[in-house]
Amino acid sequence: MTSQHLFTEIRDFCEQNADEAIVKKYARYFKEGYDAYGVTRELLESKAKELVQDDSVDLHLVLETGRLLLATGKLEETSFAIYLLYSFKNEFDKSILHELDKWFSIGIDNWAHTDGICGYIFRELFRKQIIIYKDLSAWRSSPRKYQRRAVPVAMIEIFRAKGDFEGLLDFIDPLMIDQERVVHQGLGWFLREAWKRYPEPVEEFLLKWKDSSARLIFQYATEKMSKEYRERFRRSKK
């Protein structure tokens, strides 16, 4: 099988299972645009599992096809790329990180795919200690906002992989002055999850940034705190 053949099979599947009602249902969650067929997640995952049963579908073919899928801008086609890649998690090595860097330059341009990559791919990379958080250093200054968002969201997977928290707050420090809303949301999510496990250092970090970082970060980060406790992290009155 060639990458073009696999790409065509995936596209035909998406077209045959398209549902406009699903597109209308989920479009409101994607304020920057939603170019989708309307295929359910269950169907996508089931088809991906079916495809990798073919002995001719290997990691190399999936990486080649993934670049074709990402370039289309169609939501489900990029989702297929992520699911197919995850199917070969037992073959992951550090080259996968370099491939993901290419993916962001080609077509990772929404929160769902960014967070999917973190939840599926980065979880495995951290769990198997193929990479460490410092391998994402250059991503913090990427010109692509969703690649920058991936940094704090990927850090959450370190907790799930039972990794070390030490150094993570210092690592995200440069992102606390980022100007993009999607990055703010990712930072807030990370800090909220970190606070559940390590409240004291996270609170100290939040106090350091409360007067200079975007309030949306704090809205997410303090979401699980009591209303009274959140008052500690309000911006100081001038």
The DSSP H or E segment spanning 219 is: helix 215-221
193-210 pLDDT, tens digit each: 999 999 999 999 999 999
Of 11 and 231, the structure prediction assigns the larger pLDDT to 11
| pTM of the entire predicted model | 0.93
Check residue 144 and give its pLDDT. Answer: 97
Task: Choose the final residue of a domain: 91, 121, 140.
Answer: 91
> Do 79 and 108 reside in the same domain of the chain?
no
Both tokens of 102, joined, read 């290419």
For residue 191, count CB atoms less than 10 angstroms from its CB and return exposed for 0-12, middle for 13-18, buried for 19 or more.
Answer: buried
Task: Choose the final residue of a domain: 60, 91, 122.
Answer: 91
What are the strands, taking DSSP E only, across the chain? none
Domain that holds residue 86: 1-91
pLDDT bin (cut points 50, 70, 90) of residue 231 is: confident
128-185 pLDDT, tens digit each: 999 999 999 999 999 999 999 999 999 998 877 766 788 999 999 999 999 999 999 9
The residues, ordered by sequence, that sit 6+ positions from 143 with a Cβ below 8 Å of its Cβ are none
> Do 71 and 135 reside in the same domain of the chain?
no
Evaluate whether 139 touches 147 at the Cβ level (below 8 Å): yes
Evaluate whether 72 touches 37 at the Cβ level (below 8 Å): no
> Do 136 and 76 reside in the same domain of the chain?
no
Tell me whether residue 97 is in a domain. no
Tokens 């990559």 belong to residue: 117
Task: Choose the final residue of a domain: 91, 118, 146.
Answer: 91
